[in-house]
Amino acid sequence: MKLWSKDKESLKQVTDFTTGKDGEMDMYLAKFDVLGSLAHIRMLQSINLLTADELKVLSAELKEMYNRIESGDFSVEEGVEDIHSQVELELTKKLGETGKKIHSGRSRNDQVLVDIKLYLRFEIEQVVAEVKKVFDLLIAQSEKHKAHLLPGYTHFQLAMPSSFGLWFGAYAESLVDDVITLESAYRVTNKNPLGSAAGYGSSFPLNRALTTELLGFDDLNYNVVYAQMGRGKTERIVAGAFSNVAATLAKLSMDAVLFMNQNFAFIRFPDELTTGSSIMPHKKNPDVFELVRARCNQLLALPNDIAMLTANLPSGYHRDMQLLKEKLFPAIQSLKDCLRMIHLMLSNIEVKENLLSDDKYRFLFSVEEVNKLVLAGMPFRDAYKKVGLDIEQGKYHPATTVNHTHEGSIGNLQNDRIGAMMDAAIDKFQFAKTETAIRKLLG
């Protein structure tokens, strides 16, 4: 079934090629297509394109369909082009002529636009929830291990003392900035394109403000041409925000792979969270972190992949945009999987204590020795030269304690302030507003 069919069918090869993976990808959009339709028919009834009785029976069928989707008892049938066609087909089978009226005043163009916006809005909320779980764990681990020192490196050479408190806390604060970019992407996403039709509006007196309210959007995409131009742009912006989260996870994973190495031996994990070798019985491989690193590096390429699909398109709809779903939708699931696996691993991490008592780390304290001389009145450059000469002459015997008290340092992590920043960033989303609107629409 094709919504655009007249008296001739396309050659099967053409249909197969143009449909591609849409049946699979559209299952991500299924419940959101139903939500968009529920709002649309409410609007149609308000402008007298549906009767009250027609609205009642259509709403009942759509809500039943929504429940089937939620329970996994729904699919796009063989030979049906997409989710929009499947929904309309089922309504027409059940309700006859009334089912055919659901498409009045809209195009598949704005239908898929609103589906994608609702889907991305939902997924951003899901990702933020997973990020918050990892963030809370990082803060907890930072506090738990704040007294445990760790070598710090620059140029991958021993530099200065760090701590596990700093290490965990650094990735927590990185996630704060990632959530800020997610909130910006959410604001772009949370605008209603429904009513733009094929990208040029409609001669029906559509009430776009009503569907905006019913679907819990913050505002409209007002200009109908821009609403269509937002396809691809919205996905690219959201992918960019997701890639920021991925970059944080990839860097953390790289650290973990190094820190598990026997030459570092800073951290370890229970055997059941590592993998073995087929010939080396001693191996405990960091496969989880390696795969998180790889998947997140793939996510870093996602904004560019989306840009390359849409970069040279003029205004208006083009079928190229169909492929955006294949790029973005599975990537979102991959990011959520990575967040969950990082949470699992960090929940079971064991850190090595008293690391810096090993003599190979003694040069980490050279700056501490310089600073002691400066605090005693020696000019910094003279103190630097003296400690350097002591190292060369074998006279360097540092104390292995640190006293860093300024904001954000080893002795003053400021985790409470970092937590407050995360809370403030999440509060800006106002997820409750959209959740209330959707519950009311389904009620």
DSSP track, 311-368: TT--SS--GGGGHHHHHHHHHHHHHHHHHHHHHHHHHT-EE-SSGGGSGGGGGGGHHH
The dihedral over CA atoms of 16, 20, 21, 25, expressed in degrees to the nearest 10, equals -110
> Mean of the pLDDT values across residues 263-269?
96
**Among the CATH numbers 1.20.1600.10, 1.10.275.10, 3.90.1150.10, 3.30.360.10, which is that of 12-103?**
1.10.275.10
Among 360, 382, 352, 353, smallest CA distance to 370 is for 382
Which structure tokens are listed for 351?
């850190």
Which structure tokens are listed for 357?
């008592």
Give the residue, 5 or 354, on which the prediction is more confident.
354
Among 161, 54, 201, 81, smallest CA distance to 410 is for 161
For residue 233, pLDDT beyond 60: yes
- Distance between CA atoms of residues 43 and 399, nearest Å: 74
Tokens 């937590």: give the residue. Answer: 419
Q: Are 250 and 293 in contact (CB under 8 A)?
A: yes
**In b/e form, how buried is each residue of 17-49, taking b as 16+ CB within 10 angstroms?**
eebeebbebbbbbbbbbbbbbbbbbbbbbeeeb
> Mean of the pLDDT values across residues 400-420?
95
Element of type H or E holding 420: helix 415-427
Task: Express each pLDDT in 53-84 by its tens digit.
Answer: 999 999 999 999 999 999 999 998 888 888 99
Task: Express each pLDDT in 78-129 by its tens digit.
Answer: 888 889 999 999 999 999 999 999 999 999 999 999 999 999 999 999 999 9
Phi-psi region of 47 (alpha: psi -120 to 50; beta: other; left: phi over 0): alpha
Residue type at 32?
F
Q: Are 242 and 319 in contact (CB under 8 A)?
A: no
Q: Are 87 and 70 in contact (CB under 8 A)?
A: no
For residue 3, pLDDT beyond 70: no
What one-character DSSP code corresponds to residue 149? E
- Distance between CA atoms of residues 88 and 431, nearest Å: 30
pLDDT for the residue 281? 79
In the chain, what is the straight-line distance between the N-terminal and C-terminal CA atoms, in Å?
A: 31
Residue type at 53?
D
| β-bridge partners, 423 | none
Q: What is the pTM of this model?
A: 0.93
Tokens 């530099």: give the residue. Answer: 159
Task: Express each pLDDT in 275-314 by its tens digit.
Answer: 887 888 788 899 999 999 999 999 999 999 999 999 889 9
For residue 7, pLDDT beyond 60: no
Res. 2 pLDDT band, cuts 50 70 90: low
- The burial class, CB within 10 Å (0-12 / 13-18 / 19+), for 277 is exposed
> Mean of the pLDDT values across residues 18-30?
83
Task: Express each pLDDT in 338-375 by its tens digit.
Answer: 999 999 999 999 999 999 999 999 999 999 999 999 99
SS3 of residue 10 by DSSP? coil
Task: Give domain limits for the chain.
Answer: 12-103, 108-145+164-199+221-354+415-433, 358-412
Contacts of 389 (CB under 8 A, 6+ apart): 395
Lowest mean pLDDT among 9-23, 172-186, 212-226, 298-312: 9-23
| DSSP conformation letters of 67-116 | HHHHHT---PPTT--SHHHHHHHHHHHHHTHHHHGGGTT--HHHHHHHHH
108-145+164-199+221-354+415-433 in CATH: which number?
Answer: 1.20.200.10
Among 321, 267, 322, smallest CA distance to 289 is for 267
| β-bridge partners, 351 | 267
For residue 4, pLDDT beyond 50: no
**Mean pLDDT in the chain?**
94
pLDDT for the residue 11? 76
pLDDT for the residue 95? 96
Residue type at 442?
L
| Percent share of the chain, pLDDT over 70 | 98
pLDDT for the residue 10? 60
pLDDT for the residue 381? 97
- Distance between CA atoms of residues 295 and 399, nearest Å: 43
- Distance between CA atoms of residues 138 and 161, nearest Å: 20
Among 300, 297, 296, 320, smallest CA distance to 232 is for 320
For residue 6, pLDDT beyond 60: no
